[in-house]
Amino acid sequence: MQAPRNQGPSPIGIVYNTSMARPDAALALAAMYPMEGNRESHMGSVCVVGGGFDTAVFCDIIAKTYTFGATNGNQALATGLAIENGATDTPMVKAAVAKNYPRTLKRPQDTSAPVEVLRNGVIFNATSLVILSGPATYLAKALDPLGAKDLYKDRVKRLVIVDAGTPYKDAAALRRIVAEWPTPIFFCPKEVGDALRFPGADLDKDFAWSTSTGSPVVDAYKAYKPMPYDAPLYDLAATHYAVHPDSGFFELSSAGTLNIADDGAMKFAPGGGGNVKSIGIVPAKKAELLAALVTAATEKPVVPAPRAFGRGASGRGAFGFSGRGGGRGVLPALPPNVGK
Amino acid sequence: MFVTKKAINRRAILKGLGAALSLPLLDSMIPAFAEASNAPVRLAWFYLPNGIDMRNWTPPAEGALPAELPNILAPFSAIRNDVTVISNLTANWGRPLQVGAGDHGRALAAYMTGVEVYRTAGADLKLTTSADQIAARANGHLTTLPSLEIGLEEARQTGNCDNGYSCAYTYNVSWKTETQPLPPISDPKNLFERLFGSDIAESPAAHQRRLAMRESILDQVMGDTHKLESTLGPSDRRKLDEYLTSVREIEVQVEKASKSTTVIDPGMDKPFGVPSAYADYFRLMTDMLVVAFKADITRISTFMIGREGSTRAYPEIGVADGHHPLTHHMGNMDMLEKVREINVHHAAAMAAFVQKLKDTKEGDSNLLDNSLIVYGSGLSDGNVHTHDQLPTLLCGRGQGYINPGRHIIYQRETPVANLFATMLDRVGVRPEHVGDSTGELAGLTLQS
């Protein structure tokens, strides 16, 4: 692989393979854009697998809401979508899509092809990480194109597989990923997400900045099930680990084996010659971690900014380790088109 | 159909001193009562430089092509049921990615190879075998020439042509190996010689003598021609006569062009023997390609309408500015209008070529029906250098393989290499990889 011309440090790219069927997925996506604004990471690509067109539109709406429609030259990748028979959209995404949020996807062809958007999301960045939270069908297929494995080996720092308790379809694809993925693999077990719950009663307060414009994340959260409820933060916790593996909030198991049952259920076992490490929460850091996650997921949108502007005076990002209110590079006012 | 007792070999040629002229498909070559035409499927790629004014290219809706096509495609209106407009294909490795400027170098080099273009202005080129050469490697032994590389600008192979990318990347669309480009033939005389000049040993002195005497190639093969004619029925005699006439007409054009001293543009290298007007040049070269296909001299071709980044001017249509500078119009409507005029000019010439293929009978069909020809570019918007949503027109049916007359829109990021893999599949070539292809294009063929 040819070395990037600009050798300066650049944010790590996130490639997010998601079914986008739970509020924690929406909160995770909502966190990724401010993280880009703060130069903690960069959006590589988002690919919906297991949902329908409205699910891709929901992701697109979040992107538009958080980036104000800005694109990075010709490197903006449209949301990916695995167009499959029988794929359905949840009431959660439909609630937001039904509203008049700006969007770019008008028809299924406006989405990106799934294998390509997963691969190209890696190509677009000097370094990347991959978060797998949904069927692995297309990520497994993304191993096949010419030079793909070498590409991932060279550029992907880590793959984080999320367990939210609902087995993914296509156990064979997931087994192939575990067996053939050429970079370190980390498993974020269900217990991690279950231990970190978003305070649903504070939802409107946390998203107060969106009162006048509306928030597709809030709409989705409220539509998922009767309020108030505290959503477990499966994808958001995995995202935090993926971007900040050295935060001190998490601890790792020794290498082990991730067993995939025929129905897709995952179970980690230490040893066995496996190459997967399981993520756990450092007990003493749990409250601080939760605060950081909530801060990240509810942060006011940040206009993508050049490096010099990105961080606040304290140098902290959206995942500010000091908890809520940590210094962040947030612009003082939103452009006038937000939410229209 | 005229039926003979004994079929003529499909690869029979007329031989003479220093000349070898392949034959078109004659009835006599088809075994009696054969159920289907044995004509081969031809593949060709016509590369457009500098992108397209996409506002005037893309049909507004998916489905059957309307009678009134967008302005740039309007020249294809009469043959719209023989072409397929394909939208949303991407040449990902043309993009800046982590490397930066050099979009023209990458656009062409990555278009038919589908791999990362190693940035160098030196001799350490690195690419991979292009789609046409994958086909040529598999099927090239079936014809006199495995493939034919044609271009309308003389190819440079060395030097820095685009922000650190070698000229070899901006001038060559065909790559035989990862380090060996196949320069296109831009001189009509050289192309004529390549097609008919000879695969028979001829001393340099004899060659020069023949050229000096301006002897027609038809004179060279006259003996064989008379022998063959005496074995043919009336229908085949007429076909042979038409074919030889077309060869002679090309020969006359080439000769005429070789005497031309008109200068195209002081800023551009113009080889001697090249027609000064683009349309004449394009027609002369494509006329030879028609003959090459008809006589089965080759079944695979690439055709560079211009090098990537071409600065050619088109004074014959009132565009005195160079093509590439115009495409960086930055929204200037006057410049954009000139880009559109160039795009239409190219399309008109291409449409005439496609029409000629359609008018060229072959067995019970025609050359166009037996071909798959891409007319496209590795850039869409030349102003900002976009490498997705590429302009792509597929001409022909590949012998009943494609259902044309439609506008098909694929999901974004679909590799253009998927189209090329689909084309290769039609001629029985199924390599493990065609660049960054992720499979064939669903819904394009009648089978999918």
Last residue of a domain, one of B247, B272, B297: B272
Last residue of a domain, one of B211, B244, B272: B272
Domain housing A279:
12-310
- Same-domain check for residues B219 and B368: no
Q: Is the pLDDT of residue A310 over 60?
A: no
How does pLDDT run across A227-276, given as a tens digit for each residue? 999 999 999 999 999 999 999 999 999 999 999 999 999 999 999 899 99
Number of domain units in chain A: 1
Residue B443 lies in a domain: no
Residue B436 lies in a domain: no
Residue A318 lies in a domain: no
Residue A332 lies in a domain: no
Question: What per-residue confidence (pLDDT) applies to B17?
Answer: 67
Structure tokens at B97: 């990615």
- Same-domain check for residues B107 and B130: yes
Task: Identify the band that residue A328 occupies on the pLDDT scale cut at 50, 70 and 90.
Answer: very low
AA identity, residue B132: D
Q: Is the pLDDT of residue B356 over 50?
A: yes
| Average pLDDT estimate for A41-61 | 95
Question: What per-residue confidence (pLDDT) applies to A326?
Answer: 31
3-state secondary structure of B83: strand
Beta strands in B193-341 (DSSP E): 300-304
At A243, give phi and psi (nearest 5°): -85, -35
Q: Write the residue in B99, B412, B433 that is nearest to A2 by C-beta.
A: B99
> How far apart, in whole angstroms, are the C-alpha atoms of residue B236 and residue B238?
5
| Average pLDDT estimate for B199-219 | 65
- Same-domain check for residues B156 and B54: yes
> How far apart, in whole angstroms, are the C-alpha atoms of residue B114 and residue B106?
10
Task: Identify the band that residue B162 occupies on the pLDDT scale cut at 50, 70 and 90.
Answer: very high
- Same-domain check for residues B368 and B383: yes
Min distance B127 CA to chain A CA atoms (Å): 12
- Same-domain check for residues B311 and B290: yes
Last residue of a domain, one of B225, B244, B272: B272
- Same-domain check for residues B168 and B215: no
Residue A4 lies in a domain: no
Q: Is the pLDDT of residue B311 over 60?
A: yes
Whether the Cβ atoms of residue B153 and residue B274 lie closer than 8 Å to each other: no
How does pLDDT run across A281-309, given as a tens digit for each residue? 999 999 999 999 999 999 987 665 543 32
**Does B104 contact chain A (CB < 8 Å)?**
no
**Does A314 contact chain B (CB < 8 Å)?**
no
Contact residues on chain B for A125, CB-CB shorter than 8 A? 98
Pairing relationship of beta strands B165-166 and B160-162 according to DSSP bridges: antiparallel
Residue A327 lies in a domain: no
Min distance A161 CA to chain B CA atoms (Å): 24
Residue A35 lies in a domain: yes
Residue A29 lies in a domain: yes
- Same-domain check for residues B278 and B252: no
Residues 6+ positions from B95 with CB-CB distance below 8 Å: A74, A75, A124, B103, B106, B387, B388
Which of 11-50 (A) contact B at CB < 8 A?
A: none
**Which tops the pLDDT comparison, B37 or B140?**
B140
Question: What per-residue confidence (pLDDT) applies to B53?
Answer: 97
Residue B194 lies in a domain: no
How does pLDDT run across B237-283, given as a tens digit for each residue? 888 888 888 888 888 878 777 766 544 443 444 455 788 899 999 99
> How far apart, in whole angstroms, are the C-alpha atoms of residue A130 and residue A107?
26
- ipTM of the complex, rounded to two decimals: 0.85
> What count of other Cβ atoms lies within 10 Å of the Cβ of residue A11?
20
Q: Is the pLDDT of residue B5 over 60?
A: no
- Same-domain check for residues B301 and B408: yes
**Which of A140, A23, A162 lies closest to A82, judged by CA?**
A140
Residue B346 lies in a domain: yes
> How far apart, in whole angstroms, are the C-alpha atoms of residue A266 and residue A234?
14
| Average pLDDT estimate for B190-203 | 70
Lowest mean pLDDT segment, chosen from A58-67, B133-142, B416-425: A58-67
Residue B126 lies in a domain: yes
* Share of residues in chain A with pLDDT > 70 (%): 83
CB pairs under 8 A between A and B: 86
- Same-domain check for residues B388 and B288: yes
- Same-domain check for residues B73 and B215: no
Residue B446 lies in a domain: no
Contact residues on chain B for A112, CB-CB shorter than 8 A? 411-413
- Same-domain check for residues B132 and B209: no
Domain housing B326:
39-186+274-426
| Average pLDDT estimate for B105-117 | 96
CB contact (8 A) between residue B413 and residue A116: yes
Contact residues on chain B for A74, CB-CB shorter than 8 A? 95-96, 384-388
Question: What per-residue confidence (pLDDT) applies to B243?
Answer: 85
Number of domain units in chain B: 2
CB contact (8 A) between residue A109 and residue B433: no
Instruction: Residue B70: give its domain's CATH number.
Output: 3.40.720
Nearest-Cα residue of chain B relative to residue A151: B116
Whether the Cβ atoms of residue B299 and residue B40 lie closer than 8 Å to each other: yes
**Does A115 contact chain B (CB < 8 Å)?**
yes
**Does B443 contact chain A (CB < 8 Å)?**
no
| Average pLDDT estimate for A183-208 | 97
**Does A60 contact chain B (CB < 8 Å)?**
no
Residue A274 lies in a domain: yes
Whether the Cβ atoms of residue A77 and residue B379 lie closer than 8 Å to each other: no
> How far apart, in whole angstroms, are the C-alpha atoms of residue B23 and residue B29?
10
How does pLDDT run across B316-335, given as a tens digit for each residue? 999 999 999 999 999 999 99
Residue A167 lies in a domain: yes
Instruction: Residue A76: give its domain's CATH number.
Output: 3.90.245.10
At A279, give phi and psi (nearest 5°): -95, 140
Nearest-Cα residue of chain B relative to residue A123: B97
